[in-house]
Amino acid sequence: MSETTAVKKDSYYRDVLKKFTAHKLAMLGLAVIALEVILVVILPKIMQLDPYTSDIQAFGAAPGAGHLLGTDDTGRDIFARLVYGGRVSLLVGLLSAIISLCIGVPLGLLAGYYKGIWETLVMRAADIFMSFPSMILILVLVSVIGPSVWTVTLVIGVLGWTDFAKLIYGNVLSIREKEYVESAKAVGTKDLPLLVKYVIPNAFAPILINFTFRTAQAIIQESALSFLGMGVQPPQASWGNILYAAQSITVLSSKPWLWVPPGILLVLTVSSINFIGDGIRDALDSKVKIKK
């Protein structure tokens, strides 16, 4: 790599970083997610939180000194379950998006770079997957395999590969015709080094953006499954199955401490991740200028 090329790349990365840090909503979202991660990791140790043990003297208790957000109908501390539920919801969202990326990107690369039979197989498979309502398909698979944290994570991740495959496929189709790719082929560069060095770096920006949105979508899907009773199973906590207890009119009207906190955290988390995605998209867009 020439010195001029290195300088240009450094300048590009600095410009991207400046535009991202200048995006106020993205920085707010990043701060919220960072704070959530820190709290769900350290609070259980600092406060000795127990989301499983029932307080036999406080069934369905209102918020108070002993229980910051009250207890549920079985006497379990809502605040402790909220913190541990945050661990589960964030973990499911992140791991599901990683699984989708690890499946979709290689398949999209094969379809876009080699075309032919790979293009037919991968794109038709993607069309078939996308023709089914995703939530219905997830519900069916989870019910067959059995609901658990890892089942939900795996099913959501496996069924989310199509977005990544379609994106990388479209980008690779245009990049494979570029002069620098043709030049690399002409000098005898093998397919794998060519893909790693030239194709993937130039096709990956939209994938990075989609990764954030896919993480937010996976958190929503996990919460919806848990709310329907087909996701994370009690006594293990997630924000979705905490909301599951709020299905009765009595709870909705007289016990807001059971459903308002997880509802707020879900909205805040998903919105923050989407803000980060918006910030990355704007930072990578050369048409967007830094406001001075």
If you average pLDDT over residues 286-290, what whole number do you get? 58
> What's the chain's average pLDDT?
85
Q: Which residue has the tokens 């989609």?
A: 210
pLDDT band at residue 72 under the 50/70/90 scheme:
confident
Measured CA to CA, the distance from residue 49 to residue 254 in angstroms comes to 25
Q: Report DSSP state, residue 71.
A: B
Is it the case that residue 113 has pLDDT exceeding 60? yes
CB 148 within 8 A of CB 88: no
Least confident segment among 17-26, 93-102, 123-132, 249-258:
249-258
pLDDT band at 10 (very low <50, low <70, confident <90, very high): low
Share of the chain above pLDDT 70, in %: 94
What would the two tokens of residue 216 be? 């937010």
Residue 1 clears pLDDT 50, i.e. is over it: no
pLDDT at 9: 59
Tens-place pLDDT, residues 188-204: 888 888 888 888 888 87
Do 101 and 200 form a contact (C-beta atoms < 8 A)? no
Give per-residue pLDDT as tens, 32-43. Answer: 999 999 999 999
Q: Select 3-284's CATH number: 1.10.3720.10, 1.20.1070.10, 3.40.50.300, 3.30.230.10.
A: 1.10.3720.10
Q: Please state the rounded mean pLDDT for residues 234-242.
A: 85
SS3 236: coil
pLDDT digits (tens, 9 = 90+) for 76-87: 888 999 999 999
- Which residue, chain included where needed, has tokens 């969202």? 93
| Three-class DSSP labels, 162-229 | HHHHHHHHHHHHHHCCCHHHHHHHHCCCCHHHHHHHHHHHHHCHHHHHHHHHHHHHHHHHHHHHHHCC
What is the Cα 85 distance to its own chain's centre?
A: 16
